[in-house]
């Protein structure tokens, strides 16, 4: 990502003189929206043509956070000629969401997201219109509601049992030799289990054969997910969009979209070739609905589930385990709770999980530190904030969740993993407290909260109930590499490899 940014900056600078005049006039137009008298938010100084791009670094959320410490929780930066309003406080994020919810809450789309999501007939980028409302209600009724998520417990149970079984096999083969340690790649296993659960929930059957195929599909979903949140030269310099071919971005989009759409076409074809359709199948329910969805619409809605849910859930599992291994006191406490609740049972019921309060705090804390790094909105009309700032119509707003979740005014010891901060604190997942919103908030809040949380809780509870976990090669917890990628869904840069030690011979 860093190399691509440097390369992009050099290319942009090299043609900057040619475009200087045109871009200057565009800034002037943008900076005086409708002759409004209210002031724009503070801006860091910027360079001609590239604006503040050079200040973004390879870690844009961190860079924006640093800039906001100087320029305030609402600031205006320029990515090339395009203004971008950066929000770094929970208070302003909540105010903006409330104002936009009363109007027309939409997201700013990117060129890559348009390509991946078949022209934005999905829920994520579709405007706040009748289609969005009907599609959201349909997906909720058929897949994501509390009732539907509960009805999918057999699928979660089956896939999680397979994972536990696999770990047992691995550990039993090394059991004769106590000194022998076999480290497993949990990042890969979590991606596989999250993919298998989602695919089976949507298709009603397993599509992939074995872990390798699940991981391959999961990786494809992950790549597509990275792309939909990635901006390219054409987003900010439409006249320079040809540079996206030179930087390889256009090829990356093509190479990701082609197999992804092939997969979606195949699952729809498979479903349609059945002599007796499965009336419970999600695709069937979408096809039958009176909305009259086209194949392309259905593909977009399936992508909402896979792109919205698979990678983010796998990432949450990975970060939760990483933080617990790094924090042995929290690990011990949560394992004691889980083992106490499960007792002598041979299997964890989902109803058990609701009694595991500390586990829920652990997952919330992992999401605070490693959940999605940003939310995005676009202003449908001029938007005036209580601080006296005005954001003109059609502006992109970038809510830096990375900064909000590390705001020392909101969180004590913000950089530390302290699940206790969530005990009886009333921070739910609906973003109603104006402080904690890992799933977003308002009308465009994530519709997959229950779907995701039920999966993450069961996987983590099972990992911690039946196994103890150690770092391989005597690595000390404080030395565990916690480097993260800076996509919207932050992943661990290096895979999480841990040594499982079975604690109960059951199942
Ligand atoms: C740990 C897992 C997940 C996290 C952390 C997460 C987080 C988020 C966030 C922060 C947003 C933006 C909300 C906003 O702008 O206010 C979002 C939107 C969305 N998420 Fe999730 N999500 C997760 C799982 C899922 C799952 C399982 C699904 C579907 C099955 C899903 C589907 C969506 C969709 C469709 C949107 C766009 C909603 C709209 O604009 O109407 N997500 N998610």
The CATH code of the domain that includes 379 is 3.30.43.20
In 318-389 the beta strands, taken as DSSP E runs, fall at 374-378, 383-384
Asked if residue 127 lies in contact with residue 121, where contact means CB atoms within 8 angstroms, the answer is no
Q: Is 305 in the pocket of ligand 1 (CB under 6 A)?
A: yes
Q: How far is CA 41 from the centre of its chain?
A: 28
pLDDT number for residue 28 = 36
**Which candidate, 390, 114, 159, places its Cα nearest to that of 124?**
114
More confident residue, 452 or 290: 452
Distance from the CA of 391 to the center of ligand 1, in angstroms?
A: 25
pLDDT number for residue 37 = 56
DSSP one-letter string for 196-230: HHHHHHHHSS--S-HHHHHHHHHHHHHHHHHHHT-
Domain count, the chain: 1
Give the list of residues 6+ apart from residue 472 with CB closer than 8 angstroms, or none. Answer: 181, 183, 497, 498, 499
Binding-site residue numbers are: 446
Q: Is the pLDDT of residue 184 over 60?
A: yes
Ranking 20-24, 277-281, 453-457 by mean pLDDT, the lowest is 20-24
Element of type H or E holding 6: helix 2-14
Rounded distance, CA 213 to CA 188, Å? 11
Element of type H or E holding 323: helix 311-326
pLDDT number for residue 327 = 97
pLDDT number for residue 104 = 86
* DSSP β-bridge partners for residue 405: none
Ranking 119-133, 374-388, 455-469 by mean pLDDT, the lowest is 119-133
Binding-site residue numbers for heme are: 446
Q: Is residue 75 part of a domain?
A: yes
- Interface predicted TM-score (ipTM) of this complex, two decimals: 0.99
Q: Is residue 422 part of a domain?
A: no
More confident residue, 344 or 276: 344
Q: Is residue 395 part of a domain?
A: yes
Q: Is the pLDDT of residue 418 over 80?
A: yes
Instruction: Determine the Cα angle at 134 with ends 132 and 140, to 5°.
Output: 100
Q: Is residue 104 part of a domain?
A: yes
Q: Which atom of ligand 1 is nearest to the CA of 316?
A: 1
pLDDT number for residue 489 = 80
Name the token pair of 149. Answer: 């998520």
pLDDT number for residue 226 = 84
Ranking 17-26, 160-169, 210-219, 420-429 by mean pLDDT, the lowest is 17-26
pLDDT number for residue 312 = 94
pLDDT number for residue 179 = 66
Q: Is residue 214 part of a domain?
A: no
Average pLDDT, the chain: 88
Name the token pair of 401. Answer: 């969740």
**Which candidate, 171, 259, 158, places its Cα nearest to that of 217?**
259
Q: Which atom of ligand 1 is nearest to the CA of 451?
A: 27
Q: What percent of the chain has pLDDT over 70?
A: 90
Q: Is residue 378 part of a domain?
A: yes
The whole-number average pLDDT for the span 447-459 is 97
pLDDT number for residue 24 = 38
CA distances from residue 372 to 93, 176, 191 in whole angstroms, order as listed: 15, 42, 17
Q: Is 452 in the pocket of ligand 1 (CB under 6 A)?
A: yes
Ligand 1 atom 41: residue of nearest CA? 444
Range of the domain at 98: 41-119+373-405
pTM for the full predicted model: 0.90
Q: Is 309 in the pocket of ligand 1 (CB under 6 A)?
A: yes
Rounded distance, CA 450 to CA 144, Å? 7
**Which candidate, 223, 214, 208, places its Cα nearest to that of 193?**
214
Q: Is residue 101 part of a domain?
A: yes
pLDDT one-digit tens code per residue, 5-46 = 544 554 444 444 333 333 333 333 334 444 445 788 999 999
Distance from the CA of 446 to the center of ligand 1, in angstroms?
A: 3
Distance from the CA of 30 to the center of ligand 1, in angstroms?
A: 31
Q: Is residue 31 part of a domain?
A: no
More confident residue, 472 or 4: 472
Question: Strands 497-502, 184-185: parallel, antiparallel or unpaired by DSSP?
Answer: antiparallel
Q: What percent of the chain has pLDDT over 90?
A: 64
**Which candidate, 199, 224, 222, places its Cα nearest to that of 209?**
199
pLDDT number for residue 315 = 96
**Which candidate, 146, 161, 133, 142, places its Cα nearest to that of 451?**
146
DSSP one-letter string for 104-153: --B----HHHHHHTTTT-STTTS-SSHHHHHHHHHHIIIIISHHHHHHTH
Name the token pair of 472. Answer: 């391989």
**Of the residues 140, 308, 312, 432, which should be mutated to test ligand 1's pocket, given the most ligand atoms within 8 Å of the CB?**
308
Ligand 1 atom 3: residue of nearest CA? 312
């Amino acid at each position: 990502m860093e190399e691509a940014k440097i390369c992009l900056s050099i290319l942009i600078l090299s043609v900057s003189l040619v475009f200087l005049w045109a871009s200057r006039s565009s800034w002037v137009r943008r900076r005086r929206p409708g002759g409004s008298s209210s002031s724009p938010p503070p801006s860091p100084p910027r360079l001609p043509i590239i604006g503040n791009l050079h200040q973004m670094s390879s870690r844009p959320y961190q860079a924006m956070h640093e800039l906001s410490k100087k320029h305030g929780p609402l600031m205006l930066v320029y990515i090339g000629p395009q203004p971008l309003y950066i929000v770094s406080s929970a208070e302003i994020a909540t105010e903006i969401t409330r104002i936009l919810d009363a109007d027309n809450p939409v997201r700013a789309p990117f060129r890559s997201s348009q390509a991946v999501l078949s022209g934005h007939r999905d829920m994520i980028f579709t405007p706040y219109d009748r289609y969005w409302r009907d599609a959201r209600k349909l997906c909720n009724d058929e897949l994501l509601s509390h009732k539907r998520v509960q009805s999918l417990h057999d699928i979660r149970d089956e896939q999680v049992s397979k994972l536990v079984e696999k770990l047992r096999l691995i550990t039993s083969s090394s059991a004769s030799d106590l000194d022998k340690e076999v480290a497993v790649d949990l990042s890969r296993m979590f991606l596989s289990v999250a993919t298998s659960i989602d695919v089976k929930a949507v298709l009603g059957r397993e599509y992939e054969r074995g872990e390798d195929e699940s991981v391959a599909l999961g990786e494809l979903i992950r790549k597509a997910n990275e792309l939909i949140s990635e901006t390219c030269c054409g987003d900010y310099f439409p006249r320079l969009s040809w540079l996206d071919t030179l930087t390889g971005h256009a090829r990356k989009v093509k190479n990701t979209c082609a197999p992804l759409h092939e997969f979606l076409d195949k699952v729809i074809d498979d479903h349609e070739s059945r002599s007796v359709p499965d009336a419970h199948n999600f695709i069937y329910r979408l096809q039958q609905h009176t909305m009259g969805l086209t194949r392309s619409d259905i593909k977009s809605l399936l992508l909402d589930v896979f792109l919205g849910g698979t990678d983010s859930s796998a990432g949450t599992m990975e970060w939760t385990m990483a933080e617990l291994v790094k924090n042995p006191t929290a690990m011990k406490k949560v394992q004691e709770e889980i083992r106490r609740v499960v007792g002598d049972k041979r299997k964890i019921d989902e109803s058990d999980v609701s009694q595991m309060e500390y586990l829920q705090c652990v997952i919330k804390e992992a999401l605070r530190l490693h959940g999605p790094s940003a939310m995005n909105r676009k202003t449908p009309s001029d938007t005036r904030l209580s601080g006296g700032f005005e954001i003109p119509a059609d502006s992109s707003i970038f809510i830096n969740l990375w900064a909000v979740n590390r705001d020392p005014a909101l969180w004590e010891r913000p950089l530390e993993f302290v699940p206790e901060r969530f005990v009886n604190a009333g921070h739910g997942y609906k973003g109603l407290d104006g402080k904690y919103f890992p799933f977003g908030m308002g009308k465009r809040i994530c519709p997959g909260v229950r779907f995701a949380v039920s999966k993450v809780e069961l996987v983590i509870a099972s990992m911690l109930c039946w196994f103890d976990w150690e770092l391989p090669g005597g690595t000390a917890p404080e030395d565990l590499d916690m480097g993260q990628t800076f996509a919207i869904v932050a992943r661990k840069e290096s895979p999480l490899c841990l040594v499982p030690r079975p604690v109960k011979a059951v199942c």
